[in-house]
Structure 1
Amino acid sequence: MPLTKLAKELRARPAALWAHLARHFLIETDHSRYTRHGDRLVGDWDIFLGIVNVEAETAVTEERLCSVLFGGSEAEIRRYDYHLTATFYIHVLRPLCWMGLLEEHRVGKGMERREFFTKTPLWHAALTLSPDEEPKAPILH
């Protein structure tokens, strides 16, 4: 099959190809078909990326991200609102992992399993967030 004009242009420019694919996959693709009930996630990619930029500097759970974005405590979200975390995972976290921007770390087994997310080096190389301020070092108690 012959390459399209765009494919020919992007073949020699891997960074531009990645940016094109990321924009299409993250923003233009409707991920609701991957949910059980066609769930759509209400929100904005600018806000999602801004929160993830700050929170995933160190390992962060999807419950923490949902708590910051949508309100509620992490414990309540983990216990009662798995539907929200599953929808957020499918629409935001998994695509960011697939594009190489986040890394998912799984700890534990069964009902005790937890997923933590951290930014990869590609995050800073590929994204310029506005304002792209480096998060302050986490406060350790």
Structure 2
Amino acid sequence: MIEFRPLPDDHPDLAHSPMLRGALLTLQYAQEHGSIGLTKTKAFKRVFVHWAVEHFEWPGKSAEEMFRYNKVINEYEFLPLEVLHFLLISLRLGRHYKGEFRLTKRGDELAHAPGRLFAEMIAYFILRIDHASYARFEERPFGKWDVWMNVINVEADHGTTEAALFQAFYGEPKDWHTAGWREMAAFSSCVLRPLGWAGLLMETREENAEKYVCHVFKTPLWSSALKLDTDNMLQPMALQ
């Protein structure tokens, strides 16, 4: 069972969520400017996309890095914003009207309410969205969120690796440098990445001449926001 605990708006661990931060900034921008312009295909116009790239502070997608190779960035080239746009419309926090993205009454209410917005958005994002659809990757990993999150709760409690988590679920050692890289990619894109975007997991990457290793850790927001069946299996970290 997965239960998301309600958190007050001033809870410090909410700062770990890139998706929440991006949503708040988008709602506040629309609130301040009255709307956000849309293209003919109903994507955010480039002026807002550029603003989002500069202000979201998205992990691994700094403005300097993104503008280094592309002076013009469209919504589909900043994938977190494309997914966030879909979420805000799906949750009816915003709507498209006469070529603009405008806040609904609910979106206007939550623009400055991080705890309530987290409760409204993050469980829906993790549990209800088809993550393979925006990963642009056909394969979907076998499994369900109740199992994935309860196992990760234990396995990543003191840190683990992407490859070790894959093996814990599927019993086979796969990695990006092995023939099983496609299975690893599906697992990473559809399970680990959504949890990272939600702010529940964080990753550090290590590369050398021989292989690439992705280390996975739970953020403080994981234990603050989640109540899981395996919580009683967690062991305190041993003091050195």
Given the two structures, how large is their TM-score scaled by the length of structure 1? 0.82
Q: Quick check: 2:154–2:230 contact (8 Å CA) kept in 1?
A: no
Aligned 1:36-75 pairs, distance under 5 A: 37-72=137-172, 74=173
C-alpha displacement of 1:92: 0.9
Instruction: Name the CA distance, whole Å, in 2 between partners of 1:8 and 1:24.
Output: 19
Counterpart in 1 of 2:214? 115
**Of 176, 180, 195, which aligns to 1:81?**
180
Equivalence for 2:204: 105
Q: Does 1:27 align with 2:111?
A: no
Q: Secondary structure at the match of 2:229?
A: coil
| Aligned amino acid, residue 69 of structure 1 | F
Moved more, 31-40 or 15-24: 31-40
Partner residue in 1 for 2:235: 136
Q: Which runs of 5+ in 2 are unaligned?
A: 1-34, 36-101
Contact 1:34 1:90 in 2 (8 A): no
Q: Report the secondary structure of 1:128's partner residue.
A: strand
Given that residues 160 and 215 in structure 2 are in contact (C-alpha distance below 8 angstroms), is that contact kept between their aligned partners in structure 1? yes
- Structure number, greater radius of gyration: 2
Task: Name the SS for the 1:51 alignment partner.
Answer: helix
The offset of 1:63, in angstroms, is: 1.5
* Deviation by residue 1:26-85 (Cα, 9 ceiling, x = unmatched): 12221213445422222111111001110111221121111111122x3xx233311111
Distance change >3 Å, CA 113–CA 120, structure 1 → 2? same
One-letter code aligned to 2:215: F
Matched residue SS, 1:133: helix
- Residue identity over aligned pairs, in percent, reads 35
Give the unaligned 5+ runs of structure 1: none
Which of 6, 13, 17 is 2:113 aligned to? 13
3-state DSSP class of the match of 2:168?
A: helix
SS of residue in 2 equivalent to 1:103: strand
Pair 138,67 (structure 1): closer, same or farther in 2 beyond 3 Å: farther
TM-score normalized by the length of structure 2: 0.51
